[in-house]
Amino acid sequence: MGIEMKSFDLSYNVIFCNTNRNVQKESTYLDLLLKKRVDGIVFVSSGININSVKFIKSQKIPIIVVDREIKGLKVDSVLVDNLSGGYQATKHLLNLGHKRIACISGPSLITPSSERIEGYK
């Protein structure tokens, strides 16, 4: 929501594309975005397709990847300290006197999830 609000303030329109981790759908959306000559892409994905990011960069379209580091590829990103977040959330509940604390998270193969779980431990 913050991305859309700030974009609107700067007279940009946001095109939202949901791929559900479908590589073919992602490719189709990338083609659409190129045809629309977008000014930039904010890439928020649970499973980053490094080839898609490389392709976007090769087209000289500014890209920002949210909450993912891509090893071996220089790309701007906005990151969250997931380990600290998991730790702080757990500590807060412990300080409130809770003793039996569960952790519900996404798949542990996804870096933010695994980092939050590690912070929870």
CATH code at position 37 = 3.40.50.2300
User: What are the backbone dihedrals phi and psi of residue 78, each rounded to the nearest 5 degrees, phi first?
Assistant: -115, 120
Q: What is the pTM of this model?
A: 0.68
Supply the pLDDT for residue 109.
63
| Average pLDDT value for residue range 69-92 | 87
Beta strands in 11-121 (DSSP E): 41-44, 63-66, 76-78
DSSP codes, 23-75? HHHHHHHHHHHHHTT-S-EEEE-SS--HHHHHHHHHTT--EEEES---TT---
Q: DSSP label at 55?
A: H
pLDDT tops 80 at residue 88 = yes
> Which residue's structure tokens are 């990847």?
65
| Average pLDDT value for residue range 72-86 | 86
Query: Do residues 11 and 32 share a domain?
Result: yes
As a whole number of angstroms, the distance between CA 69 and CA 4 comes to: 23
pLDDT tops 80 at residue 15 = yes
Supply the pLDDT for residue 92.
96
User: What are the backbone dihedrals phi and psi of residue 26, each rounded to the nearest 5 degrees, phi first?
Assistant: -60, -45
Contact predicate 91/120, CB 8 Å? no
pLDDT tops 90 at residue 93 = yes
Domains: count for the chain: 2
Query: Do residues 52 and 11 share a domain?
Result: yes
Instruction: Print the domain residue range for 53.
Output: 2-78
